[in-house]
Amino acid sequence: MSDPIERPPAPWDYAPAPESREIVRLQDRYGLFIGGAFVEPKSGRFFATIDPSTEEPLAEVAEAGGEDVTRAVESAREAADAWQGLSGTERAKYLYRIARRLQERSREFAVLESMNGGKPIKESRDIDLPLAAAHFFYYAGWADKLGYAFGGRTPRPLGVAGQIIPWNFPILMAAWKLAPALAAGNTAVLKPAETTPLTALLLGQVLQEAELPPGVVNIITGDGETGAALVDAAVDKIAFTGSTEVGKAIRRATAGSGKRLTLELGGKAANIVFEDAPLDQTVEGVVNGIFFNQGHVCCAGSRLLVQEPVFEVLLDKLKARLDTLRMGDPLDKNTDVGAINSKVQLDRIEALVASGVQEGAELYQPSCVLPERGFWFRPTLFTGVSQSHRIAREEIFGPVLSILTFRTPQEAVAKANNTPYGLSAGIWTEKGSRILWMAQQMRAGVVWANTFNRFDPASPFGGYKESGFGREGGVQGLAPYLALDQEAS
Amino acid sequence: MSQAAPIARVAPGPVAVPGDAARLVARSPAVDAVGLEARAASLAARSIKLDAKRFALELAIRCMDLTTLEGSDTTGKIVALCAKAVRPDPLDAAIPPVAAVCLYPQLVPVAAQQLRGTPVAVASVAGGFPSGLGTLEARLAEIRAVAADGADEIDIVLNRSLFLGGRYAEAFEELVAAREAAGSRHLKVILETGELGSYDRIRQASVLAMASGADFIKTSTGKIGVNATLPTALCMMEAVREFHAQTGRAVGVKVAGGVRTAKQAIHYLVAVHETLGMLWLTPERFRIGASSLLNDVLMQIDKGATGRYAGADYFTED
Amino acid sequence: MSDRLPVRRTAKLFIAGMFPRSESGRSYEVLADDGRPLAYVAQASRKDLREAVVVARAAQPAWAGMTAYNRGQVLYRVAELMEGRRSQFESELADAGAADPARGVSAAIDRWVWYAGWADKIGQVSGSSNPVAGPYFNFTIPEPTGVVGIVAPPDQSLLGLVSRLAPAIVSGNTAVVLVSETAPLPAVSLGEVLATSDVPGGVVNLLTGRTAELLPWLAGHMDVNAIDVTGVPDDLRVEVETLAAGNVKRVHRAPHADLFDDAAQSPAEITALMEFKTVWHPVGA
């Protein structure tokens, strides 16, 4: 060869591979799902819900006012006795039915989830929907086995659960909330997030198809005021997933009320890489840890702590990997990073990233082309980050990774735990004893070793410290929905 | 898409001395099996359509080592195979020839004669294929013989007995000797990954073979139960990427055994694309060793062109 | 003998295994149920509380780091020591107006015994290995939440205190306790028991003083992970739970039960002040 340097040939561009939207039949308007039927809101108000990747409106959704919230809670209350009165096996069968219908309609749900929330179809199709169905399956099996769950204690349902869920995993969070509540014999009022109401409303149809008794689940759409009204309503239990700020407000609002409360709040997880880590898989875990669902993940590994000897090599690998991420149409089957969920969230991410630059951290972004309309933010790495920077302390809830270094395991532990949050942590090392020691030291509710962002209905999830309290998933996830009377020993 | 740095041409030959072999193996990074397989699965989930698919299908042909490695292979079989290699689809001249035919040493002269003046290379297995456990002298003699008979490319096997027994320096020395014996011929080292037992071992063997001066590392002989798999190939690609970053030498990857469908071939191409970049999407650095794959690729090309599903009767057996 | 002047007791705080006076220099008089003056006890200030939290935080990792077997033995020894001083506890309970002081002391001692045995069992009973759908080993273990603030029930000054304290510390938490304001002497004596036991200094910190004065500082403290509000009077409940929101404190209130009943002790009282940690690891060769 005469030319000593070989240049890359023209790129291999993957042709667009959009999942069809045909499977989704949207209504122009959606009412509230109360008492087993979709009803007009007494508030008389509706709001538009959009596709964040195009800013195009998708439908109008009812905004539940105070009266509507009351009506939904009353509906749940009226249904409670009969629902509790059913045998566990009967309740289980309803939950199995819901799980099955969710599986059968999963493509439709996945497409709608990506349309309304901006997440890549490959995630909604391969993760959100299968997990949502799995949660109903898992807890269906508990409904007639509650007596075996907590030895020496007699379980009783609490009554009516008010459940407020976030916009990052709309249908999955609905499943996380409803499945254990219903299995435990409670009835529920579910309040989906303002920006992502559509799959929850579609779930209302599934509940009808499953012939779930009217009132056992009520779904009310609206904004933060609707949520606040639900917190104040005559419910026995509040389960909330969302920001720490709102979680604290709910804690204050329920002070002294005797309402049972579980909170699944924010995080600022450390993902810790030791020099002996399997680096190529670590890169995948780091990418999955922070860019999964555009970083709209409370347990995202948003602080990367790298042991100094492998800092350079890991950074090079990460940058190269970032360049391969495909950003764009959430419904394209090859999209890795979708749209930011809302303008509000985009503004917040942009402000925090600006603060990172201003505070002197070094920014890296791949040069991918962004669509003209919709809400987008490039996958972003920050190096030269110190613990005191805002981007190392505040939850960004976006595709932004802050990279810090450490020298010793003790330093890694100190830095990892040096946050008011405590939801999750990641550990990457080949040394078994170090994994177990690190896992022990982490003040976090979920520790992923040599993996990240894995979820399962059998696996309890929830935080330490300001990341909240209570667990969702597993046998431990039943406890927040039960009163447990001590039996005499 | 990912682009590695432009490739600088580096003179062939080992980049380490035998004394380094054990250190190379020990320093080879760990591989997490579950993470690797998850990544491979995500690459396999890419949806390659339309023009992108047509590009991939043609590339699969251009990167193909059309292979027959049967005890029953005859001159007649090789003549037919060579014809198919040069002109895969008699009805469509736009279909490119494959990269090489791959066969046993005794049949090299037949193929060399058939392929003279065509762009298709002659590749021969050698060096005591498939076990690699003949005497070293005999194995090296075989390599020299096929080179003399007109093989452009030589596919040899790693001595798994030495490698798995921890005798890395000896295994390395054998590879270096084979490199010398092959001279300027394109040397592919088969790791026989199905016998190595773990991805860590596959990565170690990859490093050992690359350091010995191999032009390609290759997954399998096709003669045991476990052949190329996407995670295995991905593991080797990651080793190649790291080796390139450290030494500047761009080693190729060949997957062989069990690749029968266009869909599988596209998975491998996507893995190369997103792991090593466009510079590896060339027959110089990526090969698929296969026998029945070619017709499936042709059927897929036909489907893309005509919009209807094809049938086996419309494509030549060989 | 009758003309002998008795040596009066000076009841002090119990912090870090030592008995300091309040940094504020304050004390208050404790009266018996029948109005007799019994003693002066230290009246803790918010600064004493702050110091107690610092001490409890510092002591927590080592206490949690002991083997569960060892923690169980240490707490069982508390029961042994109380048994040896039961006459003192009985007389203090009698002074506080207990109907049956002997029964109260016995129940308190037995409660220590019951909870001590949980030390190396709570993880087995409430932890789990979780059959996730994938190549991962996944397990959940309960861990202590950290520093627990306890408001001891104002009545049942000994059994009430032990019923809150034992389940809090058996898992490896450390505690800062606001003891009964009106009948603090059994708590002071418990501090003396703890000081001579093998419970490391700082694991239990007992503050005598005005509950209403100290409670907001405890509830609002950002380095206290959980608060047991079983002893919080109803009129302070809203304020306490509101302040607890500041750092998302776990707020626990024990169910109403007759403290002498077996139903008043439960592993749920232990796990209420614990966190569940779930660990994932791939399974692959």
Element at C151 (helix H, strand E): strand C147-151
Give the nearest partner residue to A281 out of B7, B36, B48, using CB atoms. Answer: B36
- For the residues B44-61, what does the mean pLDDT come to? 97
Higher pLDDT, residue A3 or C144? C144
Of residues A244, A446, A471, nearest to C248 (C-beta): A244
pLDDT per position as a tens digit, A371-408: 999 999 999 999 999 999 999 999 999 999 999 999 99
Work out the minimum CA distance from A59 to partner chain C, whole angstroms: 36
Active site residues of B: 155, 218, 254
Q: How far apart are CA B209 and CA B157, in angstroms?
A: 10
Contact with chain A for residue B8, Cβ under 8 A: yes
Q: Give pLDDT tens digits for C258-275.
A: 999 988 999 999 999 999
* Per-residue pLDDT at B102 exceeds 50: yes
CB contact under 8 A, B33 and C136: no
Give pTM, 2 decimals.
Answer: 0.96
Closest partner residue to C225 (CB to CB) among A449, A454, A465 is A465
Note whether C18 contacts A: Cβ–Cβ < 8 A. Answer: no
Cis-peptide, bond into residue B130, ω within 30° of zero: yes
In this prediction, residues A294-307 reach a mean pLDDT of 98
Q: Which residue of B has its CA nearest to C135?
A: B34
CA distance B13 to chain C (A): 33
Q: Which of C128, C241, C263 sits opposite A486 (nearest CB)?
A: C263
Q: Which of B32, B197, B198 sits opposite C282 (nearest CB)?
A: B32
Q: Which of A252-261, B2-11, B280-289, C231-240 has the lowest mean pLDDT?
A: B2-11
CA distance C86 to A451: 55
Query: Is the CB of C282 less than 8 angstroms away from the CB of B33?
Result: yes
Please judge whether A323 and B3 are an interchain contact, meaning their C-beta atoms are less than 8 angstroms apart.
yes
The amino acid occupying position B291 is S
Check residue A372 and give its pLDDT: 93
**pLDDT band with cut points at 50, 70 and 90 for residue A7:** confident
Is pLDDT of A103 > 60? yes
Report the alpha-carbon distance of residue C146 to residue C248 in Å, rounded: 13
Instruction: Among A40-54, A207-221, A317-331, B6-20, name the one with the lowest average pLDDT.
Output: B6-20
**Average predicted confidence (pLDDT) for chain C:** 96
* Calpha distance C32→B181 (Å, rounded): 103
Residues of chain C neighbouring A251 (CB-CB closer than 8 A): 241-242, 244-245, 248
Residue A479 to residues A153, A382, A470, C73, C268: CA-CA distances in angstroms? Answer: 11, 40, 8, 30, 10
Which C residues in the span 111-130 are in contact with A, Cβ-Cβ below 8 Å? 125-126, 128, 130
What's residue B7's pLDDT?
65
Tell me the chain A residues in contact with residue C225 when contact means C-beta distances shorter than 8 Å. 465
Cα separation, B283 vs A9, whole angstroms = 13
Give the chain C residue whose CA is nearest to the CA of A151: C125
C-alpha separations of A190 from A171, A488, B196, C151 in Å:
11, 36, 53, 35
Q: In what order do the strands lie in the sheet with C174-178?
A: C204-207, C174-178, C147-151, C226-228, C250-252
Q: Which residues in chain C are closer than 8 Å to B32, comparing Cβ atoms?
A: 282, 284
Whole-angstrom Cα distance, residue B259 to residue B261?
A: 6
Contact at CB, A456 and C134, closer than 8 angstroms? yes
Confidence of residue A366 (pLDDT cuts 50, 70, 90): very high
Pick the more confident residue, B143 or A485.
B143
B301-310: long-range contacts, CB 8 A cutoff, minimum separation 24: B301/B54, B301/B57, B301/B58, B301/B89, B301/B92, B301/B95, B304/B50, B304/B53, B304/B54, B304/B57
What is the average pLDDT across C246-263? Answer: 93
Alpha-carbon span B55 to B50, nearest angstrom: 9
Kindly state whether B32 is in contact with chain C, defined as any CB-CB distance less than 8 angstroms.
yes
Our CA-based measurement puts residue A95 at a distance from the nearest CA of chain C, in whole angstroms, of: 19
Residue A238 and residue A158 in contact, taking contact as beta carbons nearer than 8 Å: no
Q: What pLDDT, on the 0 to 100 scale, is given for residue B3?
A: 45
Res. A10 pLDDT band, cuts 50 70 90: confident
Distance CA A241, CA C84 (A): 51
Asked if A456 and C130 come within 8 Å (Cβ–Cβ), the reply is yes
Mark yes or no for CB contact A12/B9 under 8 Å: no
| The pLDDT value given to residue B64 | 98
- The answer to whether residue A367 neighbours chain B at the CB level (below 8 Å) is no
- The confidence score (pLDDT) of residue C182 equals 95
Inter-chain residue contact B45 with A122, CB threshold 8 Å: yes
* Spatial separation of the C-alpha atoms in residues B41 and A174, rounded to whole Å: 28
Radius of gyration of chain B, Cα coordinates, nearest whole angstrom = 19
The reported pLDDT for the residue numbered A264 is: 98
Q: What is the mean pLDDT of residues C55-72?
A: 98
Under 8 Å between Cβ of A400 and A353? yes
Give dist(CA B217, CA B210) in Å, integer. 7
Considering chain C, what percentage of its residues have pLDDT values greater than 70?
A: 99
Q: Over range A209-223, report the average pLDDT.
A: 98
CA distance linking residue C268 with residue A87, whole number of Å: 26
**pLDDT(A265) > 90:** yes
Residue C239 makes CB contacts below 8 A (sequence gap 6+) with: A255, C215, C216, C219
Whether A215 has a pLDDT exceeding 90, the answer reads yes
The sign of the CA dihedral B282, B283, B287, B290 is positive
Q: From the CA of B94, how many Å to the nearest CA of chain A? A: 19
- The Cβ of residue A261 has, within 10 Å, a number of other Cβ atoms equal to 22
Bridge partner residues of A189 (DSSP): A162, A218
Residues C144-203 pLDDT 10s: 999 999 999 998 999 999 999 999 999 999 999 999 999 999 999 999 999 999 999 999
A69, burial (CB in 10 Å: exposed 0-12, middle 13-18, buried 19+): buried
Tell whether C281 lies on the interface with A, counting CB pairs under 8 A. yes
Q: What's the average model confidence in pLDDT over B122-135? A: 97
Average pLDDT of the segment spanning C107-112: 98
What is the rounded average pLDDT for all residues in chain B?
A: 94
Q: Which residue of C has its CA nearest to A489?
A: C262
| pLDDT average, residue stretch A131-144 | 98
Q: How far apart are CA A14 and CA A11, in angstroms?
A: 9
CA distance C211 to C216: 9
Residue of chain A whose alpha carbon sits nearest to that of C253: A258
- The per-residue pLDDT for A6 is 74
Of A238, A236, A227, A242, nearest to A66 by C-alpha is A227
Separation between Cα atoms, residue A167 and residue A147, nearest integer Å: 34
DSSP β-bridge partners for residue A187: A160
What average pLDDT does chain A have? 96
Minimum-distance CB partner of A256 among C128, C134, C238 = C238
Tokens (6 digits) for C225: 């992970």
Q: Choosing among B32, B43, B267, which should be mutated to test the A contact, i.e. which has the most A CBs within 10 A?
A: B32
Q: Which residue has the higher pLDDT, C285 or A464?
A: A464
Q: How far is B247 from chain A (nearest CA, A)?
A: 14
Q: Which two tokens stand for residue A202?
A: 């579609």
Between these two residues, B291 and A487, which has the higher pLDDT value? B291
User: For the residues B152-175, what does the mean pLDDT come to?
Assistant: 97
Task: Return left, alpha or beta for A240; rule: phi > 0 is left, psi -120 to 50 is alpha, else beta.
Answer: beta
Contact across the interface for A454 and C280, Cβ inside 8 Å: yes
Q: What's the CA gap between B38 and B44, in Å, rounded?
A: 10
Band (pLDDT 50/70/90 cuts) for residue B127 is very high
pLDDT one-digit tens code per residue, A404-458: 999 999 999 999 999 999 999 999 999 999 999 999 999 999 999 999 999 999 9
d(CA B221, CA B62): 21
Percent of chain A residues past pLDDT 70, beyond the cut: 99
**B231 to chain A: closest CA residue:** A281
B226–chain C Cβ distance below 8 A for any pair: no
What Å distances lie between residue C255 and A294, C2, C218, C228, C262, CA to CA?
A: 43, 48, 22, 12, 13
User: How far is the C-alpha of A312 from the C-alpha of B4, rounded, in Å?
Assistant: 16
Best of C143, C248, C270 to substitute, by most chain A Cβ atoms within 10 angstroms, is: C248
Which residues of A are less than 8 Å from C277 in CB distance? Answer: 439, 442, 444-447, 464
Q: Is A368 a catalytic residue?
A: no
Report the residue count for chain A.
489
The answer to whether residues A337 and A369 touch, using CB atoms and an 8 Å cutoff, is no
Nearest to A281 among B35, B51, B274 (CB): B35
Q: For residue B278, what is the nearest residue in chain A, using CA coordinates?
A: A8
Whether A2 has a pLDDT exceeding 70, the answer reads no
Residues in chain C closer than 8 A to A478 (CB atoms): none
**Catalytic position from the list A19, A63, A113, A264:** A264
User: Identity (one letter) of the amino acid at B198?
Assistant: S
Distance from CA of B71 to the nearest CA of A (A): 38
Residue A72: strand pairing partners: none
Q: Which helix (H) or strand (E) holds A356?
A: helix A343-358
The reply to whether C263 touches chain A by the CB within 8 Å rule is: yes
Q: How far is A151 from chain C (nearest CA, A)?
A: 8
Which strand (E) or helix (H) includes residue A238?
Answer: strand A237-241
Residue of A nearest to B35 (CA): A281
Higher pLDDT, B7 or A90: A90
Instruction: Mark yes or no for CB contact A134/C133 under 8 Å.
Output: yes
What is the rounded CA–CA span in Å between residue C217 and residue C45? 10
How much is the ipTM here?
Answer: 0.96
Instruction: Judge whether residue C116 has pLDDT over 90.
Output: yes
Residue of A74, A113, A194, A298 with catalytic role? A298
Nearest chain B Cα distance for residue C280, angstroms: 12
Nearest to B47 among A7, A334, A430 (CB): A334
Q: Residue C193's closest CA among C36, C63, C77?
A: C77
The size of chain B, in residues, is 318
- Which residues of chain C are at the B interface, by a Cβ-Cβ cutoff of 8 Å? 135-136, 282-285
Instruction: Give mean pLDDT, residues C67-81.
Output: 98
Yes or no: say if A116 and A58 are a contact pair by the CB < 8 Å rule. Answer: yes
Q: pLDDT digit string (tens) for B184-207?
A: 999 999 999 999 999 999 999 999
Averaged over A309-315, what is the pLDDT? Answer: 98
Tens-digit pLDDT profile for residues C16-59: 999 999 999 999 999 999 999 999 999 999 999 999 999 999 99
State yes or no: pLDDT of B2 exceeds 60.
no
The sign one gets for the Cα dihedral A20, A23, A28, A34 is negative
Q: Kindly report which listed range (A300-304, A467-471, A484-488, B262-266) carries the lowest average pLDDT score.
A: A484-488
Report the b/e string of B210-219 with b at 16+ CB within 10 A.
Answer: bbbbbbbbbb
- Residue to test with chain C: of B34, B39, B193, most C Cβ within 10 A: B34
pLDDT at A328: 96
Of A278, A247, A240, A263, the residue nearest A426 (C-alpha): A278
Any chains having at least 3 CB pairs less than 8 A from chain B are A, C
